[in-house]
Amino acid sequence: MNTTGSNVPVVATSDVVVVGGGPAGVSAAVSAARNGCSVTLLERYHHLGGMASGGMVLVLDDMVNGQEITISGIVDEFVQRMEKEGMAVTPPLEDRYASEEMYRKWARWGVHDFHQAKKPQPIVYATAFDPDAWKRTSLDLIRENNVNLRLHSWFSEAIVEDGVIKGVVCQTKLGRQAIMGGVVIDTSGDLDVACGSGAEFTQGQYIVTTVFRLANVDTVEAERFEYEEPEAFAKVNREARRIIGGAWEMWWLKTPIPGIVWCNCPHMPGYDGISVEDLTAAEYEGRERMMGLFHYVREHLPGFENASMLGAAEQVGVRTTRMLKGEYVVTKDDIVNRRYFADTVCRGRDYYTPYRALLPKKVEQLIVAGRHYSAEPDAQKRSREIPPCMVQGEAAGVAASLALQENIHIRDVDYRSIQKAMRAQGADPGDVPSENATGVDDLAESA
Ligand SMILES: Cc1cc2nc3c(=O)[nH]c(=O)nc-3n(C[C@H](O)[C@H](O)[C@H](O)COP(=O)(O)OP(=O)(O)OC[C@H]3O[C@@H](n4cnc5c(N)ncnc54)[C@H](O)[C@@H]3O)c2cc1C
């Protein structure tokens, strides 16, 4: 067997190596494979999906700009496949507008536009799904596209020669294993590979959350209480949120399985999502808080009398840790003002992501996608939802294939070729600005 210079056995070699099998990583791997590359996907855990399955984050947000659907591509395939199994719920087109009736019908699915302050918030194109269906769909897509999947492989070291990444080393039960590739895509969420390769980064931190699910909830009764006894509901809900100590107002949401709800709480500040000590402490604190809430709602919240604790997510919910300081750092103003960039290769809701925000400044043949992309913390906070991370992954996969086909460095790939290839495979690269985009005139003037 081949070994690296430091005697680590090389267990796989492929055109593209993707590190991290979350929403961004699976999209990147599938996209690169569909564009003709051999691909190895590495994942530390026993499942694919990252926060969307192990973290039990169960709503695809941020897919529209007003009435316009702005997210498409591999994310659509997830929605369609899970819907076929009855494991995803999306409001139909005719229900997507603002009214008390629609809000009451849909808000507990988490599919309203929570960026709008005015109530009732409109119902939008967003999808609630089941975490195991997400895992199955990820596995199916990976197998169908002949991606070489290696689970239980924890990235530990980047192999970089003369400023070019050549592969990665993973820690496994059988010791260290090397996987070599022409392009490496870092989709670890915590920037593990880029950081290990010497790329510049910033350290971010935000609340972490031990998401959990409850079973045997009578959601009809719970919603009746909420809307027909608003004052009593407000009192109980306030106390529930005080007990859990950190929760959005809508702390429970429905899932496609009747009677099972997911609870996006407790939110816990002060934890570093890459520190062993902090992540361990968060497991204790999260469980204590969720059990406090559980006992309270069984006693006091109509509809929850017979609830059972289904358990916490496999992974603590981490939103932000290390973030790339890449060729361009997306700012809060860029997001809030919907700034358009000529080299936009992916988009979320109403904002645009330039290709440069996926590229590290120095290391060659490395690209990133997902929540650790190059953005200020305040910009990432508004742009880290699952769908935009998936479109970033899809664009990174396309870029990797173009770099290898043209035998050039990935940073030199023409963004117009990425946009064209994205459109050809059904994804919206954001190259055509929506009416409410800004910065389009500036670009025209400088052209
Ligand atoms: C509590 C919470 C609630 C949220 N709510 C929503 C919501 O309602 N809707 C929404 O759209 N988004 C929501 N988000 C945001 C969204 O879940 C994430 O931003 C998104 O999942 C990021 O996708 P990703 O692929 O970049 O990273 P992740 O989902 O974090 O995936 C990273 C993957 O890389 C793997 N990995 C990490 N390190 C290594 C390593 N060293 N070696 C090998 N593998 C590795 C991980 O195991 C994981 O599979 C929420 C996030 C949290 C935490």
The residues spanned by each domain of the chain are: 10-53+135-205+321-446, 91-124, 207-318
pLDDT band at 446 (very low <50, low <70, confident <90, very high): low
Distance CA 218, CA 106 (A): 16
Q: Which residue lies with its CA nearest to atom 15 of ligand 1? A: 385
The predicted pLDDT at position 168 comes to 98
d(CA 430, CA 438): 13
pLDDT tens figures, 352-399: 999 999 999 989 999 999 999 999 999 999 999 999 999 999 999 999
d(CA 182, CA 190): 22
- 335 or 66: which leads in pLDDT: 335
User: For tokens 């992916």, what's the residue?
Assistant: 346
Is the whole-model pTM more than 0.75?
yes
Q: What is the Cα 41 distance to its own chain's centre? A: 17
Q: Per-residue pLDDT for 5 more than 80?
A: no
Please check whether residue 386 is in contact with residue 16, taking contact to mean a CB–CB distance below 8 angstroms.
no
207-318 in CATH: which number?
A: 3.30.70
The band of 67, judged by pLDDT with boundaries at 50, 70 and 90, is confident
pLDDT of 124 strictly over 70: yes
Instruction: Decide whether any atom of ligand 1 lies within 6 Å of the 296 Cβ.
Output: no
User: What integer pLDDT is reported at residue 358 of this predicted model?
Assistant: 98
User: Which residue from 26, 31, 188, 263 has its CB within 8 A of the most atoms of ligand 1, so it is best to mutate?
Assistant: 188
CATH class of 10-53+135-205+321-446: alpha beta
Candidate from 41, 42, 57 with most ligand 1 atoms within 8 A of CB, to mutate: 57
Amino acid at 380: Q
Looking at 86-218, list the stretches that DSSP marks H as alpha helix, in order from N- to C-terminal side.
100-106, 131-144, 192-196
The residue whose CB lies within 8 Å of the most ligand 1 atoms, and thus the one to mutate among 30, 252, 262, 386, is: 386
Query: Helix, strand or coil for residue 353?
Result: strand
**Banded model confidence at residue 78, pLDDT cuts 50, 70, 90:** very high
Closest CA to 429 of 344, 370, 369: 344
- Ligand 1 binding pocket includes 61 (Cβ within 6 Å): yes
DSSP code of residue 5:
T
Q: What is the mean pLDDT of residues 190-216?
A: 97
**Does residue 371 line the site of ligand 1, with CB under 6 A?**
yes
Mean pLDDT of the chain: 96
Name the closest-CA residue to atom 22, ligand 1. 371
Give the tens place of pLDDT for each residue, 261-302: 999 999 999 999 999 999 999 999 999 999 999 999 999 999
